[in-house]
Structure 1
């Protein structure tokens, strides 16, 4: 009884983007895949930063989708140059831009969460610490551009990837990969943005 008799509806059909990272725990093959996921997310954020002055602001592991692919490499353009990276058998998609910030056609689009105290009071997961860290960095002004928030989420994602279980646990190179990801986790906050991390972090070179 809520809708009128001639109510119109619209149905949107989207490509399947994959399974979210949280529900991929125990299904990914190795830390090589984890490294590629982190590389793909960083590249996507870097391109969006350069093109749109973009901040995701809610990049928890439920908003990162992964799906199998036969493509061995993925490509992206940054600062007018083409780049490629190894997929290691997965493609990454980032979803949920409800809290995101960007600039387009001289217009700034953002979500003002300055009065959403409940969001900043969450406990029990590193995710909630990131919201508070973002607020400290931007002074609770959510219209200004602070790309370092993307770096905060990269550190969070690296933490989750290090905590996950993998089907190919152990094996040749496992220790070195884990050390490499741990170094990234420990050092990533020094970068000013995802773009800075992508261009200068040794793990992505």
Structure 2
């Protein structure tokens, strides 16, 4: 890859830049992490938006803004075959999710302290590697230890491409707002999103903003949006799916998610009665009760591939400027994670699988608060046989999940939590959503 092909803009455009514009652009093209990202993506150049999308009159009907987090906008694309110009696009027949992440050079991020809430090329390079690696677990993944692993807990990544803007009008969040935005749980939102960094320096007409575009499978709705419609037995399956997925990722990649709030656990309906997994060549399955989960958003995640560790330094999240005064349950979970990682001069690069347990406990707590009546007492059984059966099942689920919460207290990883749950189920001969080994 030559230096010329790595440029954000061509020589003719460069000649028309102001002095500050040339300096800004130089930071971008000399960012070593940007070059690493392009090499990882096997890109010889950064294509313009128009070379990636068919920006015709139908695209506005086929794309919908879903959410905006601290670092990215997320959209659903209903007809990817018609809207995307990718090779092999015919393999993507169902609706997909597009995540757009604006980028800034590492050195500029270090100098501009107001831009913590935007991704560097290094951050996105790590996220792409983590997403692509976890995506492989959907098939029979052979680890370096020679054994096979498989889980469907992480989304399939179809495409990752570095592109340059400006983006088409279909990506204008103001004209594609989700109708349900007013119902979003405030505790699940990130800080304000910086859409276009060059706007801040009045360079929009001079230097195109670069974006990382991730195209992945549509994984359903955030658990926070659909929890009230999920039946109690499905809640148990969801918790176990979460634990199993994290356990397999821990075992294969020393994976920590580090940001597993309700918006990052998606739920979709499934016709599959059982969900199948492989752990160290051993196959086992779990009743789905009509629900399958996916864990998304590895922005804060940590993973080890071979001898290389990919992670994001998260210390800045815990400054007084970023900590909320409301102390929500989510904020307290972040603080617990920070105390665990930073105690005894530990570092975010190191492996702390107990962070997965902390977030599992957080998700279980959300489910329990929905299932448990306001007075905290178990429901009283009715004389009606149908109501009595439903009430007994709900009470059983509440007791079971409460016990799981107690088990998390002394667990150092999702793997250890899984082993304890299986042991307790065997000891009590509890068949409720039992994990079945083959």
**SS of corresponding position for 2:316:** coil
Note the residue ranges of structure 1 that are not aligned, 5 or more in a row: none
TM-fit CA distance, 1:118: 5.4
Equivalent position of 1:190 in the other structure: 410
Equivalent position of 2:289 in the other structure: 88
Q: Do the aligned partners of 1:119 and 1:128 also contact (CA within 8 Å) in 2?
A: no
- CA offsets per residue over residues 156-181 of structure 1, 9 Å max, x none? 00000112269x99534221211111
**SS of corresponding position for 1:115:** helix
Equivalent position of 2:355 in the other structure: 149
TM-fit CA distance, 1:186: 2.5
Equivalent position of 2:69 in the other structure: none
- Cα distance change, pair 144–35 in 1 and its aligned pair in 2 (3 A): same
* Aligned-partner Cα distance in 1 for 2:321–2:290: 35
Equivalent position of 2:219 in the other structure: 17
* Aligned-partner Cα distance in 2 for 1:119–1:54: 28
* TM-score of the aligned structures, taking structure 2 as reference length: 0.43
Equivalent position of 1:8 in the other structure: 48
* Aligned-partner Cα distance in 2 for 1:49–1:163: 28
Aligned-pair RMSD on alpha carbons?
Answer: 2.6
Q: Which has the higher contact order (CA 8 A, sep 6+)?
A: 1
- Look at both structures and tell me which one has the larger radius of gyration over its CA atoms: 2
TM-fit CA distance, 1:7: 6.0
Equivalent position of 2:273 in the other structure: 72
* Aligned-partner Cα distance in 2 for 1:185–1:42: 12
- CA offsets per residue over residues 109-163 of structure 1, 9 Å max, x none? 0010112325862334211111111111111621000000000001000000112
Note the residue ranges of structure 2 that are not aligned, 5 or more in a row: 1-8, 14-45, 53-83, 85-97, 99-214, 373-385, 426-433
* Aligned-partner Cα distance in 1 for 2:416–2:250: 10
Q: Do the aligned partners of 1:59 and 1:153 also contact (CA within 8 Å) in 2?
A: yes
Equivalent position of 2:59 in the other structure: none
Q: Do the aligned partners of 1:66 and 1:91 also contact (CA within 8 Å) in 2?
A: yes
Q: Do the aligned partners of 2:232 and 2:393 also contact (CA within 8 Å) in 1?
A: no
* Aligned-partner Cα distance in 2 for 1:37–1:21: 10
Alignment of 1:55 onto 2:256:
yes
Q: Do the aligned partners of 1:114 and 1:141 also contact (CA within 8 Å) in 2?
A: no
* Aligned-partner Cα distance in 1 for 2:245–2:312: 21
* Aligned-partner Cα distance in 1 for 2:247–2:274: 18
The farther-off stretch of 68-77 and 185-194 is 185-194
Q: Which of 238, 255, 279 is matched with 1:37 structurally?
A: 238
**SS of corresponding position for 1:25:** helix
**SS of corresponding position for 1:26:** helix
TM-fit CA distance, 1:15: 2.3
* Aligned-partner Cα distance in 1 for 2:399–2:242: 20
Equivalent position of 2:397 in the other structure: 177
* Aligned-partner Cα distance in 1 for 2:392–2:321: 42
Q: Do the aligned partners of 2:407 and 2:417 also contact (CA within 8 Å) in 1?
A: no
**Would you say how many aligned residue pairs link Structure 1 and Structure 2?**
201
Equivalent position of 1:102 in the other structure: 303
Q: Do the aligned partners of 1:75 and 1:85 also contact (CA within 8 Å) in 2?
A: yes
* TM-score of the aligned structures, taking structure 1 as reference length: 0.88
